[in-house]
Amino acid sequence: MFLVVLHFIPVHRIEAYYWHLRHGSSVAIGSYRFPVPKQWYVKYISADDVLLVNLDNGDGITVRTNPHRFPLQDWESAVSHSMPDGSTKVLRRKELQVSGETMVCIEKNLDTKAVRFYPIECRSESALEVTFQPYIFSTKDHDQMFYSFLQQVRKL
């Protein structure tokens, strides 16, 4: 009986609560400060990257500063290819200003026949990489929430 009760304890919500008490509502990654709203859980963190998970819907955001800098145009060319079998399609390219830098985002549709994913891969001129991984059963409408996150990123 005790093991059954433990299964229903919201461990990640408790950990997220304490993380926010200790660190506030943002995290420093490389030379950037990235927002972490209350409903987000910091699953992994290092000096150069962080993985955030939304406790309400399972969406994930990975933020990393890439020490292996190559031109933004080369990165864009590498990530914006559609697959010949149609399983991966580029839906849209979006360019925005984030903390005074140009950031390019590539929105994709990954169709596995069983489910569809709508990841978004973004990179700035200074090699800040931010990837949005929606939860398996999420719809495409989570992209505006992700872009509002990006608008809150600040350089340290």
CATH code, 110: 3.40.1000.10
- Other beta carbons within 10 Å of 64: 18
Contact predicate 49/64, CB 8 Å: yes
Range of the domain at 113: 2-155
- The DSSP secondary structure of 122-143, one letter per residue, reads EEETT-EEEEEE--TT--GGGH
| pLDDT, tens digit only, all 156 positions of the chain | 455 555 566 787 888 898 899 999 999 998 899 999 989 989 999 988 999 999 888 899 999 987 667 788 888 888 887 767 767 788 889 999 998 999 999 988 877 666 667 889 999 988 799 999 888 766 656 778 889 989 999 998
Domain count, the chain: 1
Lookup: tokens for 20: 């926010």
Lookup: tokens for 7: 């299964």
Distance separating alpha carbons of residues 39 and 98, to the nearest angstrom: 23
